[in-house]
Chains A and B, each alone.
Chain A
């Protein structure tokens, strides 16, 4: 319980100081740049299983001068919102305070994504440039072929063992 209380105190303090800072010097949620490992796999790459990964980077101006790392500092605690667009349909996805998100279970199609940061009050920053990702599931016939072969091998193995077990059973071998 203490741990939870401490965390809540820290969160309250953080958002209080962020709100204060905002009116003074902070410019608001930054623009982020969006990418995906799938894009690195080549221009024709598509997800074969409906899983898509998105990664985004905070701008260089927020990088720690010593390590060069861009992280999501607790003091400002941006959260991120992803917009997924397929055809005419647009959905908003809450991506939490992470710098990546894993999506799954998508149907075949072409998906457009863009992401933006939100500050503690929910004020959004600018949208990132969009990226386009494709989902193209394995052909069903291939999947069923593997399923059938695997099923046969499994059945043959099970038969071998069950039959062997029955034949070899005698009182001394329990």
Chain B
């Protein structure tokens, strides 16, 4: 794989931004001593920071690297389908408001499932949630290593280690405020970078030429009825909805945002996220028009950017993807640590733990998660990306239990637990029997049916006040 960015330049960028994030994180979060400050930024985050963190966290390396890949492989629908990932954010907007209203002293998504549906559902949910968190953590660490290596030749191990270490460091130093503060800066960088690369691409490449070249050489990419992409469309959407609905990354934000902010922040983030996959993805469609050899689809983004924009483009891409990875990794480390500390450490092992003890446990767990992620990344298990795909069935099966649990008073708790279980199993079967692009769809469908049928047959009344659990 030919190197696009000079190793020395890349190393300087890596070091420079690492110092920036760690310094920023330290400064922003150094007063977060109390548990609620460390875990939930004091529960008063405003609209600007709130929207930015929601957006930054959902713009992952996938958005910036996979969007071009999907455009290259699945054409226009691939790109548009990816934009449908914003639906998860948009649908979560009203839910974020409801979560904060129903659980003013809540900490995690696990808290909700436990109080709403009982211990069985809670434990099944935790398994799903932790598997997904690890799948995402590992894929982010690996993406960091791969990106840095493919763009600059710096070995995978060094790149992955650097990214993991700095994210662990500033999350440790400053907690959620460090995460949210750096997310804001990273959002600005990501969006400006994507816009610049996109606009510069348009000065070099003519959409008319791109379109005619595609219709000649790669007609299926422009086909409105391209079977594979039509099939993936709602599977992608439901995968994204499942990811957002269940993951503590988004719930912790719902708890951290000030009253009245959650709805607007998620709505704004969702709307602003929609164009990102298109702006990042369309450059891949110009590869045929430019006569570029593309060795494999997952390299199309960096190759086109570098070809069109030279070293400058490669630098921009490097900075953008690095920011995208960091902004998701820090959120994930913090939120998963919250989940482990609250739902496993406190609720299973040490119910009488003081806030100070929990605060210390949070730090320890962040480091532990970083170390575990690093270990799995370095072992270079080739199936990493596949793990994340597998979680599609699992996370999509939580959609209806969570939505129905939040809005219906009579959702059957055993039905909710069963829905997650059966949906996950059904989705996994479908994954192997039919294909990975059906897992989330099947999981969500089975889960929905189970929730609706059990609630119809045996509704169970629930008092919303049971969710107002005090933490002291």
Chains A and B touch (C-beta atoms under 8 A apart): yes
B155 near A: Cβ within 8 Å? no
With A97-B2, A157-B241, A160-B403 known as contacts, the answer to whether A150 contacts B297 (CB < 8 A) is: no
Q: Decide if A150 touches B237 in the complex (CB within 8 Å).
A: yes
B406 near A: Cβ within 8 Å? yes
Q: Decide if A151 touches B227 in the complex (CB within 8 Å).
A: no
Q: Decide if A157 touches B231 in the complex (CB within 8 Å).
A: no
Q: How far is the CB of B82 from chain A (nearest CB, A)?
A: 15
With A97-B2, A162-B94 known as contacts, the answer to whether A168 contacts B407 (CB < 8 A) is: yes
Q: Classify chain B's interface size.
A: 35 or more
Q: Decide if B98 touches A50 in the complex (CB within 8 Å).
A: no
Q: Decide if A98 touches B2 in the complex (CB within 8 Å).
A: yes
Q: Decide if B238 touches A138 in the complex (CB within 8 Å).
A: no
With A150-B238, A157-B399, A157-B448 known as contacts, the answer to whether A142 contacts B295 (CB < 8 A) is: no
Q: How far is the CB of A39 from chain B (nearest CB, A)?
A: 17
Q: How far is the CB of B422 from chain A (nearest CB, A)?
A: 15
Interface string of B255-291 (1 = CB under 8 A from A): 0000110010000000000000000000000000001
With A96-B293, A102-B295 known as contacts, the answer to whether A174 contacts B234 (CB < 8 A) is: no
Q: Decide if B234 touches A104 in the complex (CB within 8 Å).
A: no
Interface string of B216-233 (1 = CB under 8 A from A): 011111100111111101
With CB as the reference atom, state the residue of chain B lying closest to A79. Answer: B293
A61 near B: Cβ within 8 Å? no
A107 near B: Cβ within 8 Å? yes
B97 near A: Cβ within 8 Å? yes
In A34-58, which residues have CB < 8 Å from any B CB? Answer: 48-51, 53
CA distance in complex: A153, B447 (Å): 10
Q: Decide if A160 touches B407 in the complex (CB within 8 Å).
A: yes
Q: Decide if B292 touches A161 in the complex (CB within 8 Å).
A: no
| Stretch in contact with the other chain, from B68-76, B127-135, B326-334, B412-420 | B68-76
> Which chain B residues border A149 with CB–CB below 8 Å?
234, 441, 445
Which one of A94, A98, A147, A161 contacts B295 once the chains associate, using CB atoms below 8 Å?
A98
B9 near A: Cβ within 8 Å? yes
Interface string of B194-221 (1 = CB under 8 A from A): 0000000000000000000010011111
User: Which 10 pairs, one residue from A and one from B, show the smallest C-beta to C-beta distance?
Assistant: A150-B234, A105-B218, A164-B407, A96-B293, A49-B228, A105-B221, A98-B295, A173-B101, A165-B94, A143-B227
Chain B interface residues toward A at CB < 8 A: 1-2, 6, 9, 72-75, 87, 91, 94-95, 97-98, 101-102, 214, 217-222, 225-231, 233-235, 237-238, 241, 259-260, 263, 291-297, 300, 310-311, 399-400, 403-404, 406-408, 438, 441, 444-445, 448
5 contacts between A and B (CB under 8 A): A4-B310, A101-B293, A105-B218, A138-B227, A143-B228
Chain A interface residues toward B at CB < 8 A: 3-4, 48-51, 53, 80, 91, 93-107, 137-140, 142-144, 146-147, 149-151, 153-154, 156-158, 160-165, 167-168, 172-174
For the complex with contacts A100-B296, A164-B98, 5 further pairs of A-B residues with Cβ separation under 8 Å are A50-B226, A101-B294, A143-B231, A147-B230, A153-B445
